[in-house]
Amino acid sequence: MNEEAGDVGEERPLRADAARNREKILAAASRVFAERGLDATLDDIAEAADVGVATVYRRFPDKDALVLALFEDAIDELAALAARAEASENSWEGFVSFLEVMLERQCDNRGLRDVFTGSPYAQERMEAAKERIGPAFSALIARAQADGYLRSDVNVADILAIEMMISSLGGAKGGDAALWRRYLAIALDGLVVRRETTRDLPPSPPLEVIIAALHASKGVHRPHAKSHAG
């Protein structure tokens, strides 16, 4: 195991080692947070990266710094996707496509879901980042309602509540994406104003699969009052 002994000695090799260790730590943190959520410790990440925990603290002084490094870019990407969905020719398709992307990302990555459900880590910066999604997401909803696709008696808070409930089904390690997609399809049929046929549902999983997914989600952080699409 290669440790950076006090950042002394030959400068260039140490800088190269530091850069490599930082990338190893980020890659390990991405895996660990995706699987376990943000309750994973820096010790867990050091072990996954095969470096000493002191090396992790040299690169990232606390978990806030690591969360920012991993998730701020992910939120920027989602903000860009929301803006792209807002420009969709069909407002219902734009709304549905962005909701699917949001759920897919959060169900695949427990750490990202923790960020959206009110993680205390790097909270101020993460809330500011999430606010970049808000206007486009609200516009998606308003446009689909104005075009007569989305029922007019729902609001942003309703959609966020539905998103959070469905994303909680993505908590089980190795969980089947058909699980959350099934309940998204059911929710969308309840949100659309009119439809000649209902959406095709992925197969219903055994009850124990649903219960396992819900139990796995219990470790997520409780949401704060301020939302990312307020």
Give the domain CATH number at 18: 1.10.10.60
Pair 126, 199 in one domain: yes
Find the domain containing 178 and state its range.
71-219
Token pair 């990440």 in the structure block, residue: 45
pLDDT above 90: residue 199: no
Q: Are 95 and 163 in contact (CB under 8 A)?
A: no
Domain-located, residue 225: no
Phi and psi, residue 192, nearest 5°: -75, 145
Q: Give Cα 121 distance to the centre of its chain.
A: 14
Q: Are 52 and 86 part of one and the same domain?
A: no
Q: Residue 219: is its pLDDT beyond 80?
A: no
Q: What is the CATH number of the domain that holds 140?
A: 1.10.357
Q: How many domains does the chain have?
A: 2
Summarize pLDDT for 71-125 with one digit per residue, the tens: 988 898 999 999 999 999 999 999 999 999 999 999 889 999 999 888 889 888 8
pLDDT band at 153 (very low <50, low <70, confident <90, very high): very high
Do residues 29 and 117 both lie within one domain? no
53 and 95 fall within a common domain: no
CA angle (132 as vertex; 127, 137 as ends), nearest 5: 110
